[in-house]
């Protein structure tokens, strides 16, 4: 600065720091404000009576019930997979470890529609789909397809959280447990899993929110059939298409409420999770 003929005094330093802080603060406030505005606009737009009427309609009740049931089943499957795969990734070192991590993370980077298309090909006309059909199991455009779509969409998120949690737990705890007579499986069940319970629960919350909000994958694999494979996001999509704004907004409000609750629970547990 001195070469440029401007002495770098205390005042100019303070001024520079203030501008930097103000710029960062401004960006944060602007974006947060827009986000809150968009959510509030959804909550404030419809009339109260319309919302209640829509919420009590048979279509909405069916949609909420189906979403809850499929999401709960999916979360159970997702968490089983996440605990197993997260533990394998965190504890075992083997050739292709990084590749497996990348593969597991892939669906996170995929657009949901593309993931849905991949699953449609796998369960529709591929060898697996044909084999399932031979067994009398028709996955595509059924309620099972909703569960499969939700599992594949939510699993990478849950695996990531569980993997981070297990990585944060020293393997020496398990070595101590094994020195006390536990087999590897007992050490896992009696020590690692209880110690990771915060992260596992947080992963389940995230997975549940992802399952409830899963749209593109469900639409492609299960089809958006009214009152059959109609989950909450499908209700929103179908009713927007019909021009029924109140129903669409009601399903939006229910989805946002579930997401908010999930985020709050996740944040409460976040201290125990090492991502």
Partner 1 sequence: MTDILSVQELSVDLGEFSLKDVSFGVPEGSYCCLLGASGAGKSVLLETIMGGFYPEKGKVFLRGKDVTSWPPEKRKLGIIFQDYMLFPHLNVFENIAFGLKGKGITRVEYEEKVRQISTQLHIQDLLHRDISTLSGGEQQRTALARALITKPEILLMDEAFSALDLLSREKMRKLVRSTIKELGITVLHVTHDSEDVWALADQVAVIHEGKLLQHGTPEEVFCCPRPGYVAGLVGARNVLRGRVEECDDMGNSVIETQGECIYSAGNWLLKGSEVISSVRPEDIMVAREEMAISSRNQIRVTITDTERRGPLVWLTGTHGKLHLHAVVTVSSYESLELDPGSEAVFIFKARAVQILEGSSGRSVDLPSSIPDCVSVEDI
From 27-35, 143-151, 180-188, 220-228, give the range in contact with partner 1 by CB under 8 A: 180-188
Binder among 132, 182, 245, 263 for partner 1 (CB under 8 A): 182
Number of neighbouring beta carbons within 10 Å of residue 150: 30
195 or 247: CB nearest partner 1: 195
Q: Look at the alpha carbons of 266, 268, 274, 275 in this order and tell me if their dihedral is positive or negative.
A: positive
Q: Which parts of 193-222 interact with partner 1 (CB under 8 A)? A: 194-195, 197
3 or 93: CB nearest partner 1: 93
| Nearest approach, Cβ of residue 167 and partner 1 (Å) | 16
Q: Is residue 127 within the footprint of partner 1 (CB under 8 A)?
A: no
133 or 190: CB nearest partner 1: 190
From 18-26, 29-37, 65-73, 173-181, give the range in contact with partner 1 by CB under 8 A: 173-181
126 or 198: CB nearest partner 1: 198
Long-range contacts of 247-252 (CB under 8 A, 24+ apart): 247/54, 247/57, 247/59, 247/60, 249/42, 249/45, 249/46, 249/51, 249/54, 250/46, 250/51, 250/54, 250/55, 250/60, 251/60, 251/63, 252/42
Q: Kindly state the helix (H) or strand (E) to which residue 61 belongs, with its residue range.
A: helix 58-91
Residue with tokens 């694999």: 221
| Nearest approach, Cβ of residue 202 and partner 1 (Å) | 16
| Nearest approach, Cβ of residue 134 and partner 1 (Å) | 42
| Residue 114 structure tokens | 């593309």
- DSSP character string of 73-112: HHHHHHHHHHHHHHHHHHH---TTHHHHHHHHHHHHHS-H
| Nearest approach, Cβ of residue 178 and partner 1 (Å) | 4
Number of neighbouring beta carbons within 10 Å of residue 63: 26
Binder among 186, 226, 256, 265 for partner 1 (CB under 8 A): 186
The CA-atom distances, in angstroms, between 47 and each of 43, 54, 256, 271 are 10, 11, 17, 39
Q: Which parts of 132-171 interact with partner 1 (CB under 8 A)? A: 170-171
Q: Is residue 176 within the footprint of partner 1 (CB under 8 A)?
A: yes
Q: Is residue 80 within the footprint of partner 1 (CB under 8 A)?
A: no
| Residue 130 structure tokens | 């044909």
Binder among 20, 31, 173, 242 for partner 1 (CB under 8 A): 173
The residue ranges that bind partner 1 (CB under 8 A) are: 170-173, 175-184, 186, 190-191, 194-195, 197
């Amino acid at each position: 600065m001195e070469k440029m003929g401007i002495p770098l005094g205390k005042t100019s330093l303070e001024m520079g720091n203030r501008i930097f802080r103000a710029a960062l603060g401004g960006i944060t406030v602007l974006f947060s404000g827009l986000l809150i505005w968009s959510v509030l606009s959804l909550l404030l737009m419809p009339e109260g009576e319309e919302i209640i009427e829509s919420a009590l309609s048979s279509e909405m009740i069916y949609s909420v019930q189906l979403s809850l049931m499929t999401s709960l089943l999916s979360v159970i499957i997702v968490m089983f997979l996440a605990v197993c795969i997260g533990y394998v990734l965190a504890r075992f070192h083997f050739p292709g470890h990084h590749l497996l991590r990348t593969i597991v993370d892939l669906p996170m980077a995929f657009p949901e529609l593309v993931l849905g298309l991949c699953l449609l090909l796998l369960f529709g006309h591929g060898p697996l789909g044909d084999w399932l059909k031979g067994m009398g199991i028709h996955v595509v455009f059924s309620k099972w397809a909703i569960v499969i779509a939700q599992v594949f969409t939510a699993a990478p998120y849950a695996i990531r959280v569980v993997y981070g949690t297990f990585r944060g737990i020293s393997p020496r705890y398990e070595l101590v447990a094994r020195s006390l007579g536990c087999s590897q499986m007992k050490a896992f069940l009696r020590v690692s899993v209880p110690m990771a319970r915060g992260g596992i629960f947080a992963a389940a919350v995230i997975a549940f929110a992802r399952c409830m909000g899963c749209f593109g994958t469900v639409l492609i694999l299960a089809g958006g059939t009214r009152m059959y494979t109609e989950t909450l996001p499908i209700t929103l999509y179908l009713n927007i298409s019909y021009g029924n704004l109140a129903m669409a907004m009601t399903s939006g409000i229910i989805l946002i409420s579930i997401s908010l609750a999930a985020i709050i629970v996740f944040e409460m547990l976040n201290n125990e999770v090492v991502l």
